[in-house]
């Protein structure tokens, strides 16, 4: 079984109302993954990143939609072991100029090869 661990981009798009092209495209992408029997995870850190912004704005409807996303998809909680590995991997990634820390982290945690999200080439540095 394939696993997908989302960064904060897709959950952020999924909190937008229907009718926005990128958000609708992201919803369809997630539906297609589910139809292909791919398990899609929302890492706790991604939930936190999106939620803090929605609270700051404030966007009550977006928070409700984020809660629905969390309830619908698989959830990957943070543990102390995961955070310790993340710190080591972050340092290695920065030294090597890699931008896929979250994928690597959860790959190590699950032993599965990650599948990148549609916004994998945004060029963000961790």
Using the predicted structure, report yes or no on whether residue 107 has a pLDDT greater than 70: no
pLDDT mean over 115-119: 50
Q: Give 12-70 pLDDT, tens digit per residue.
A: 999 999 999 999 999 999 999 999 999 999 999 999 999 999 999 999 999 999 999 99
Within 8 A by CB and 6+ apart from 63, the residues are 15, 51, 54, 55
For residue 126, is pLDDT > 80?
no
Residue 14's nearest CA partner among 1, 24, 2 is 24
Check residue 102 and give its pLDDT.
Answer: 60
Domain chopping of the chain, boundaries: 3-77
pLDDT at 115 over 60: no
Write the DSSP string, 40-100.
EEEEHHHHHHHHHHHHHTT-HHHHHHHHHHHHHSEEE---HHHHHHHHHHHHHHHHHT---
Mean pLDDT of all residues in 101-115 = 64
Query: 64-97: per-residue pLDDT in tens?
Result: 999 999 999 999 999 898 788 778 877 877 776 5
3-77 classified as CATH 3.40.50.150: no
Average pLDDT over every residue of 5-12: 94
Measure CA 98 to chain center: 17
Residue 22: its pLDDT value, please? 97
């Amino acid at each position: 079984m394939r696993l997908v661990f989302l960064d904060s981009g897709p959950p952020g798009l999924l909190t937008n109302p229907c009718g926005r092209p990128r958000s609708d495209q992201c919803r369809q992408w997630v539906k297609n993954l589910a139809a292909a029997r791919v398990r899609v995870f929302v890492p706790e850190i991604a939930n936190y990143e999106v939620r803090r912004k929605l609270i700051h704005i404030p966007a009550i409807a977006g928070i409700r939609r984020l809660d629905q996303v969390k309830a619908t998809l698989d959830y990957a909680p943070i543990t102390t072991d995961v955070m310790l590995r993340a710190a080591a991997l972050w340092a290695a990634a920065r030294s090597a100029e890699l931008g896929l820390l979250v994928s690597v982290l959860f790959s190590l945690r699950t032993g599965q090869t990650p599948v990148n999200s549609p916004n994998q080439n945004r060029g963000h540095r961790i």
